[in-house]
Structure formats: structure tokens, C-alpha cells
A and B are shown apart, each in its own frame.
Chain A
Amino acid sequence: GAVVSQHPSWVICKSGTSVKIECRSLDFQATTMFWYRQFPKQSLMLMATSNEGSKATYEQGVEKDKFLINHASLTLSTLTVTSAHPEDSSFYICSARQGMWSGELFFGEGSRLTVL
């Protein structure tokens, strides 16, 4: 299957700093990428839909100024957690859809963020 690479796989930062996570589709172009947050032993919570060349669509309750999403090219989307706080500590995962609405979803390896 297609490959989606996520980086970094884990990051530790101090409270108040910003952290950027990258999501790349390595062997296909993705007009749409998705960002999720996952708490321990829970399913994925969709945070936002990232559309190439346009603004991201955020799910209800997700602060767009807190979680900045940029999808500048067909192979790269970034999530920046701004002014991180300990409650932002979580597992963040991205996915990319190959093709249009009925295309297969491929996931990155996830990024573990710990805010001290």
C-alpha cells in the first residue's frame, strides 16, 4: 500500500513553546489529509480536515488558533501546536486519502507529544 510518513515520532517540549508535526505522502498526491488525536485506550478523534491550497476545516470544539494546520503541497501537511500546555500531551496521527472521496486512507506512524 501507499506510504504516509509522520515526523517526529515523539517530542518533548516545555510548556509555552510551539511544536510542529509533519505528515508526508511519499508515493502519492493527497489533496486531503486528516489530523487526529488519540487518548489512551480510546479511538481516534478527528481534529481537522486539511485541504491542499485552502484553509483547513476544523471539527467542533477544536481551537484553530491553537492547532494550526497548513497543507501547502499535495504531499505535505503540517500541524503546529502553539503555546503548548500539559493538557495538549497526546498521540497525534495523520492520514491521507489516495484519490477522491472513495479512496483508501493511509496513516502515518503517529507522533507522541509530551508537554512538561
Chain B
Amino acid sequence: KQEVTQIPAALSVPEGENLVLNCSFTDSAIYNLQWFRQDPGKGLTSLLLIQSSQREQTSGRLNASLDKSSGRSTLYIAASQPGDSATYLCAVANAGKSTFGDGTTLTVKP
């Protein structure tokens, strides 16, 4: 059974800092890994999708890496802004469905 762990559970940083969120998974036979953002009371917004054959994806200030063999992914956020404050979830897809981590709640202080 796939298990996904996200560390840290919560993170608070001052505006402008670069930061890294971590995601690890136990079964490396995945189709892809996806990072999402969730604001309170809202659905999930897709940030980045990394296919199993890829090593990283970039979108603006976000960069996600994937090391399938070690079961790890990182989400790097550059020059953080207060508007980045949200919960970030990673999800790995295999066996027809996706397994989600519990998320990292990020607070960026002005």
C-alpha cells in the first residue's frame, strides 16, 4: 500500500525567503507525482505535474524535483510572498488512483 509523507507539517518564514517542502513515498512504481495548493475552504489547485520519466518541472517561482528510486520529491519556492501562504499537498499516482500526503501548511509573514 502506497504511503505518502510530507515534512514539515507546518512552516513559517519571512517574506522573500526561499524554501523547500518535502514529500516521500514508499512505492516507487508510480505514474506521476503532482503538487497542489489548497487555500482554506477551497478545492485543490494543481501546481506542477512530474511524470515518472521526468526529474523536474518548473513553473514561475516553483520548481519540483522527483527522485523515483529514493521515493522523494521536493517543491522549491523561490522568493516567497505572503500570497504563497496555503497548504501544499503532494500526490502520487499508481494503480489507477492517487495517494495524498497530509500536506505542509505554509505561512509567509510580511
Residues of A near any B CB (own CB < 8 A): 1, 4, 6, 32, 34, 42-44, 46, 49, 91, 93, 95, 101-102, 104-110, 112
Interface SS of chain B: strand
A107 touches B96 (CB 8 A): no
Question: For the complex, is B28 an interface residue (Cβ under 8 Å from A)?
Answer: no
Contacts of B45 in A (CB 8 A): 107
- Total contacts A-B at CB 8 Å: 52
Q: Which of B59-110 contact A (CB under 8 A)?
A: 89, 91, 93, 96-98, 100-103
Nearest first, the 3 A-B pairs at minimum CB distance are A102-B31, A107-B44, A107-B43
What is the minimal beta-carbon distance from B29 to any residue of chain A, in angstroms? 12
Task: Point out the residue from B34, B42, B102 that lies within 8 Å of A42, measured CB to CB.
Answer: B102
A43 touches B41 (CB 8 A): no
A46 and B97 contact, Cβ closer than 8 Å, known pairs A106-B46, A107-B43: yes
A–B complex contacts, Cβ < 8 Å, 12 sampled: A1-B46, A43-B101, A43-B103, A44-B89, A95-B44, A101-B31, A101-B93, A102-B32, A104-B49, A109-B42, A109-B43, A110-B43
Contacts of A102 in B (CB 8 A): 31-32, 51-52, 93
